[in-house]
Structure 1
Amino acid sequence: MSTPAKILFVDRDGTLIEEPADEQVDGYEKLRLLPGVIGALRRLVDAGYELVMVSNQDGLGTSGFPEETFVGPQCLLLEILAGEGIAFREVLIDRSFAHEHAPTRKPGLGLVQHYLGHGVIDRARSAVVGDRDTDLQFARNIGVRGLRIGAGRGWDAIAAALLDAPRVARVARSPRATRIVVAPDLDAARRPAVRSGIGFLDHMIEQLGVHGGFALRLCCAGDLGVDEHHTVEDCALALGQALREALGERRGIGRYGHAPEVLALQRAHGFVVPMDDALAQAALDLSGRPYFVFDGVFPLERVGALPSALVPHFFRSFADALGANLHLAVRGDDAHHMIEACFKVVGRALRQAIRRDGSDAVPSSKGMLAGAAA
């Protein structure tokens, strides 16, 4: 089964190129690219968008707009863009006049019917870019986002709107034993606010946000009168799911995380975050393939109201929901220090793995990561 395409339907005159006063680009001297269009389209293509040009060309082929005056500038436009690595999946041109009300004329959908079938395009991530109200209506008719060039909004802003959206999510889970809401913001650094009903667990989850460098709200009401298992597990699952959704396609992230700032400790002991007697090591890959390995023994059965045995279970559930390969090891004498070192080192690994690197590429030779959220 093929994956729905992420399509950017792009107008031509007034969007890719300047529109002259007579609204006809019928000579080479009239062909002028809009500022920033090449850089923005290059970003969008690198980010996985396929481009489809859809343009109304009033009376093309008539005596008032002969075909041969259109073809030369159009071919030159496509050649210039292709030379920059920007190719169009299709070029769709309507030749009718507005008064003819042709179904193929934007905002009508006649030219794009083959994209409207179930599963052909990813409507949540596809968009229309144009310079007129008809382009925005065209987007509404397709059922995708519409973005308008002009009025101070250029191509840089268009690319930013499509690619640099805040990485936020909100997950609400209500399994039989708990009710939980988690809301991370990966690009903010506010102090985490965590209420799970287990004080020590609150403090530990806060460490993930503080050392991970992201804002986090988590509120859970669980069946603590029975035991702590459901609350710990569901907090981990909801948090992992929320981070996965906030990361989206995982474009432009570090993907891997560890803690090179204490490399000497890593070489000497295999641990990367010390806390008094405790040393903890974590290696993280946001691969989309969940796997968890834990090495460590806690000397106490409980720290506060948190059973020590549930700490590895928390990270296993977290890795499963996030779609991460997580290796975690800890040694020490004080269970409190050991558990806190675990949460801190995983937070530090997350900080590196989720950090944007300035590119729009998926950090994988396959061009996609398994299990990435749309």
Structure 2
Amino acid sequence: MRKLLFLDRDGCLIEEPADEQVDSYAKFALLPGVIPALRRCVAAGYELVMVSNQDGLGTPAFPEEAFAGPQRLLLRILASQGVVFREILIDRSLPQEGRDTRKPGTGMLRHWLADDGWSRAASAVVGDRETDMQLAANLGVRGLRIGAQGLDWPAIAHLLCDAPRIAEVERSTRETRVRVRVDLDDAAEPRVATGIGYFDHMLAQLGKHADFALELHCAGDLHVDEHHTVEDCALALGEALRRALGDKRGIGRYGFSPEDLPVRETRPAQSGCTLPMDEALASAAIDLCGRSCFAFAGAFPRERVGELPTELVPHFFRSLCDALGANLHLAVRGDNAHHMVEACFKAVARALRPALRRDGDALPSTKGTL
């Protein structure tokens, strides 16, 4: 289905002056990055519709000819770069008139509301004001705010054209409150706070070495023990990863390496990503198949590393698999519990990296679904 991009003008395509009226060439200035961003959107199949409030246009306070020159210049510049509008909709009313044609009203867009030939889910409104975001809600599409209180044009083009795999999950129980945000197509530094220092360090390893942006914050009943915090963080993170993956088209699905280094006699069926940390050696193999399965081989030489009970390490990964829908084989050997636990998290992260990576649009399954 067709996808539409409804664009505000002043403050969105061109800079808005202090008097909020572009009525001379001296006030005309394109927003930074707007041309390459719109070229990307056009190439991605978006049809462009300009929707702008121009207060009192055609009155002595805002003569038609004062508006027309800068408007023609804008359209000519954009057209020279292959950016052409399907439709230009201008409301001339003043706020006190209360007309439904004035944003966020949809009076100018009734024909689009009556048209079922375009996708609401794939379309968007881009503007710099709250009225633009209200217009988006009234149209049933997402709103992207540009400017000091929002995004810049490169970021908007990324959201519209790269289909970034982003998800946010909030999990609240009587025992914990967990908030997780992941972006599988960004490698920002992890930001983690759970109240368990060593656990924070391990979760940061997942984001860092799996190469995705991770924000996770948890307020848990640590006065009871660490179990609820660790388990609920795993469940929330797994759910966020599952949502971000969507229908899983184009992903690698599997994460393993061809080496067959033994971890112990009862090693996993697949050698997976084998990773050393000093004397410790961990091996992980993962399949993002939609089915939960976890197999663990290993024994930690002490009960705790920092404030993290080592018995909760395999429980964390089991809970992660349950929420993510993943098949994970993990094994570890060594003498130092700190090294062993960290090797586990890093090995799983390095196995996740190729499994999460997107290359094309094919679904990696003969079943037609994952």
For Structure 1 versus Structure 2, the TM-score category normalised by the shorter chain is 0.5 to 0.7
* 1:1-374 correspondence runs (5 A): 8-12=5-9, 15-16=12-13, 23=23, 36-43=33-40, 51-55=48-52, 58=57, 79-81=79-81, 83=82, 90-94=86-90, 103-113=100-110, 121=120, 126-129=124-127, 136-143=130-137, 145=143, 147=145, 157-160=152-155, 163=158, 169=168, 171-174=170-173, 179-184=175-180, 187-189=188-190, 192-195=193-196, 203=198, 206-210=201-205, 212-213=207-208, 216-221=216-221, 233-242=231-240, 266=259, 268-269=261-262, 270=271, 271-275=273-277, 278-283=280-285, 290-299=290-299, 303-304=303-304, 311-322=313-324, 325=326, 327-332=328-333, 336=337, 339-349=341-351, 364-365=360-361
Distance 1:235 1:106 in 2: 42
Mind listing any 5+ residue stretches in structure 2 that lack a counterpart? 59-63, 183-187, 209-213, 263-270
Q: Is the 8 A contact 1:282 1:326 kept in 2?
A: no
- What is the CA distance between 1:101 and its match in structure 2? 6.5
The alignment yields a C-alpha RMSD, in angstroms, of 6.0
Secondary structure in 1 aligned to 2:297? Answer: coil
Distance 1:35 1:191, change over 3 A: closer
Q: Is the 8 A contact 1:255 1:363 kept in 2?
A: yes
Instruction: State TM-score, norm by structure 1.
Output: 0.55
- What is the CA distance between 1:221 and its match in structure 2? 2.5
Q: Is the 8 A contact 1:278 1:332 kept in 2?
A: yes
Distance 1:272 1:205, change over 3 A: farther
- What is the CA distance between 1:80 and its match in structure 2? 3.8
- What is the CA distance between 1:366 and its match in structure 2? 5.8
Distance 1:24 1:190 in 2: 47
Distance 1:234 1:273 in 2: 27
Instruction: State TM-score, norm by structure 2.
Output: 0.56
Secondary structure in 2 aligned to 1:281? Answer: strand
- What is the CA distance between 1:54 and its match in structure 2? 1.7
Mind listing any 5+ residue stretches in structure 1 that lack a counterpart? 26-30, 196-201, 356-361
The letter for the 2-side match of 1:319 is C
